[in-house]
């Protein structure tokens, strides 16, 4: 049976690769707004999951116990039972060793995705149980495009989840639940797709994604035949924003009146910074309070500054792709004259990818500036590419401060202050008139 499972895995790996070589060409190369609507409701129980008419999925409640999951369950496709005779094949390779990549869709979410949990097996190349400790994954969320994967929204790289043992499938293979509590940033999708791929293991293990009896049988590249087992959970969103200065590198001692461009989560919104409360160090820095409004005439809102750093907008020389990358470790003006060996991570269009700054040709103004050429190494793949620097600017990461208890505060006008006193005067005057009239009637 193990030899058959191995052959099945290798066959599926080849099939997946062939499908992806064709299918990835239709993925749009830009980040989506992730505000794709939907009037669906929060799902807290797998028995109420809505099945779209895309394959005739059937609701099946699990007849076995699983480790508990914390948080609000937004969407759930539980794993197949350990002794379910109706499933000939239980799992599918989704691992870069073969290479192979599986993904499945979700819908009906009413909160941001903060956590993800998935079920599968950790196997050696000979399809035998393998210790899953330290396994690394890459997780990508996509927009839904008419029932197929659309534009990538967010990618989480080098993820090492916690691992929970669940049961022994068919008396042979160990099934685990892999948990990621608190993704680096929440994902705002009401419906979409998620791919999970094993990318490394200290024990040379490979990931096989377990199937599920619940869903719409729309998993890629197994459309019309399979569901994959995973759960999405959420907590109230932290309202994090990555903002890019439209004025390049700023004088951090004078941030009032500066203009900002949102990179994530909603690319392109523009803001005006209208006030600043310094934390005492004399420059715009973490723990400051600022207020901004969305241009041209949005509501003024208060924000807490989480980080201040430097961002490069660069374009690849060979492929022409562009991206915004942010300096790790916070604002450091010294890297502008010595950028080699620094670390950066991508903010847009794919949140998370990490790069090592390898080399630099200073073509124009002294220091790292537009027109320079830089050599970046993708830390996961090891690939190196030359990029053209289009812009060097200050960036801030902020969170929206909640309104005060009792609701939002609004400007106070003279009328609003005087109104209660005017009303009281009317009541008192009316009461005096009634009292005088009553005394006159009593005297007559």
- Please, are residues 243 and 398 in contact by the beta-carbon 8 Å criterion? yes
Does the residue 431 lie in any domain?
A: no
Statement: residue 177 has pLDDT above 80 = yes
Same domain as 377, residue 303: yes
Pair 37, 158 in one domain: yes
**Considering its fold, how many domains does the chain have in total?**
2
Closest of 226, 211, 218, 208 to residue 84, by C-alpha: 211
Do 172 and 227 lie in a common domain?
Answer: yes
Residue 420 counted as domain residue: no
pLDDT of residue 85: 59
Determine which of 14-18, 132-136, 166-170, 219-223 has the lowest per-residue pLDDT on average. Answer: 14-18
Residue 427 lies in a domain: no
Higher pLDDT, 203 or 427: 203
Domain-embedded: residue 428 = no
Q: How far apart are CA 371 and CA 389, in angstroms?
A: 5
* 309 and 224 inside one domain: no
Same domain, 326 and 229: no
Q: Does 432 reside within a domain? A: no
Q: Is residue 222 part of a domain?
A: yes
- Answer yes or no: are the C-beta atoms of 138 and 13 closer than 8 Å: no
Residues 265 and 230 in one domain: no
pLDDT at 410 over 90: no
> Among 185, 212, 234, which residue terminates a domain?
234
Q: Are residues 161 and 95 in the same domain?
A: yes
Assess whether 254 and 391 both reside in one domain. yes
Domain of 96 in residue numbering reads as 2-234
Whether residues 246 and 320 fall in one domain = yes
- Are 201 and 297 found together in one domain? no
What is the C-alpha separation between 249 and 74, in angstroms, rounded? 41
In terms of average pLDDT, the best of 69-78, 151-160, 215-224, 425-434 is 151-160
Distances (CA, A) of 143 to 32, 33, 152, 366, 425: 7, 9, 6, 42, 60
Q: How many whole angstroms separate alpha carbon 12 and alpha carbon 130?
A: 20
In a domain, 164, yes or no: yes
Do 197 and 158 sit in the same domain of this protein? yes
Whole-number pLDDT of residue 48: 26
Q: Look at residue 219 and tell me if it is in a domain.
A: yes
| Separation CA 440–CA 196 (nearest Å) | 89
Residue with tokens 């299918």: 23
Q: What percentage of residues in the chain have a pLDDT greater than 70?
A: 73
pLDDT at position 66 is: 75
Of the residues 216, 234, 252, the one at which a domain ends: 234
Please say if the pLDDT value at position 419 is more than 50.
no
Task: Categorize the per-residue pLDDT at 160 as very low, low, confident or very high, splitting at 50, 70 and 90.
Answer: very high
- Residue closest to 349 by CA, chosen among 5, 27, 14: 27
Q: Are residues 72 and 201 in the same domain?
A: yes
Provide the 8-state DSSP code for 107.
Answer: -
| pTM: predicted TM-score of the whole model, two decimal places | 0.49
Q: Of 234, 251, 286, which one is at a domain's C-terminal end?
A: 234
């Amino acid at each position: 049976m193990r030899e058959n499972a191995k052959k099945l895995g290798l066959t599926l790996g080849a099939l997946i690769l062939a499908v992806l070589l064709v299918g990835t060409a239709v993925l749009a190369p830009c980040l989506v707004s992730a505000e794709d609507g939907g009037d669906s409701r929060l799902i807290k129980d797998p028995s109420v999951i809505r099945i779209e008419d895309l394959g005739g999925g059937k609701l099946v409640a699990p007849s076995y116990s699983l480790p508990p999951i914390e948080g609000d369950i937004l969407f759930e496709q539980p794993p197949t039972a350990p002794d379910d005779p109706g499933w000939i094949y239980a799992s599918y390779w989704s691992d870069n060793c073969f290479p192979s990549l599986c993904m499945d869709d979700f819908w009906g979410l009413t909160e941001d995705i903060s956590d993800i949990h998935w079920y599968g097996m950790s196997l050696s190349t000979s399809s035998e149980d393998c210790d899953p400790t330290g396994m690394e994954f890459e997780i990508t969320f996509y927009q839904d495009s008419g029932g197929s994967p659309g534009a990538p929204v967010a990618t989480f790289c080098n993820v090492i989840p916690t691992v929970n043992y669940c049961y022994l499938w068919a008396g042979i293979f160990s099934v685990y639940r892999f948990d990621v509590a608190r993704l680096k940033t929440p994902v705002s999708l009401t419906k979409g797709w998620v791919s999970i791929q094993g990318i490394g293991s200290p024990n040379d293990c490979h990931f096989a994604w377990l199937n599920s009896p619940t869903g719409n049988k729309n998993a890629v590249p197994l459309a019309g035949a399979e569901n994959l087992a995973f759960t999405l959970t959420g907590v109230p969103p932290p309202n994090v924003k990555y903002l890019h200065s439209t004025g390049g590198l700023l004088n951090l001692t004078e941030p009032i009146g500066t203009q900002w461009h949102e990179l994530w989560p909603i690319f392109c919104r523009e803001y005006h910074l209208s006030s600043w409360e310094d934390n005492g160090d004399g420059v715009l820095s973490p723990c400051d309070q600022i207020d901004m409004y969305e241009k041209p005439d949005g509501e003024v809102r208060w924000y807490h500054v989480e980080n201040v750093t430097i961002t490069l907008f660069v374009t690849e020389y060979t492929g022409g792709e562009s991206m915004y990358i942010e300096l790790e470790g916070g604002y450091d003006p010294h890297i502008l004259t010595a950028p080699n060996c620094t670390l950066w991570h991508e903010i847009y269009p794919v949140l998370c990818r990490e790069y090592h700054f390898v080399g630099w040709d200073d073509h124009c103004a002294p220091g790292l500036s537009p027109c320079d050429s830089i050599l970046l190494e993708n830390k996961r793949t090891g690939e190196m590419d030359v990029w053209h620097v289009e812009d060097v600017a200050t960036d801030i990461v902020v969170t929206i401060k909640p309104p005060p208890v009792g609701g939002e505060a609004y400007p106070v006008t003279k009328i609003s202050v005087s109104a209660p006193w005017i009303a009281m005067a009317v009541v008192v005057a009316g009461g005096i008139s009634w009292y005088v009239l009553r005394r006159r009637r009593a005297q007559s």
